[in-house]
Amino acid sequence: MHALVVGGTGMLREATLALTRSFTTVSVVARRADAMPGRPAGINPVPVDYHDTGALAQALRRAIGQHGP
C-alpha cells in the first residue's frame, strides 16, 4: 500500500513516520530530497516545489506509477 504526504518533513514528520508502520511506501513531497535525513526504509522522497502545479502533477503521477495509488 502507498500513502502520500505533502510537507511530511516539517510539522508532519511524526505523522509520516507513523504511516511507515501501516504502508509499504510513503511518498513525501518536499522541496529537497535530503529534507528527511535518517529516513527509514519505505520513505520515498518526492522533491518538487508544490507551488509549481505542473511539476507537482508530474511528480505525483511518477510516484503513483512506481508505488501504486
Grade residue 38 by pLDDT with cuts at 50, 70 and 90: confident
pLDDT in tens, 48-65: 999 999 999 999 999 999
Question: What pTM, to 2 d.p., does this model score?
Answer: 0.89
Ramachandran angles phi, psi of 28, nearest 5°: -120, 115
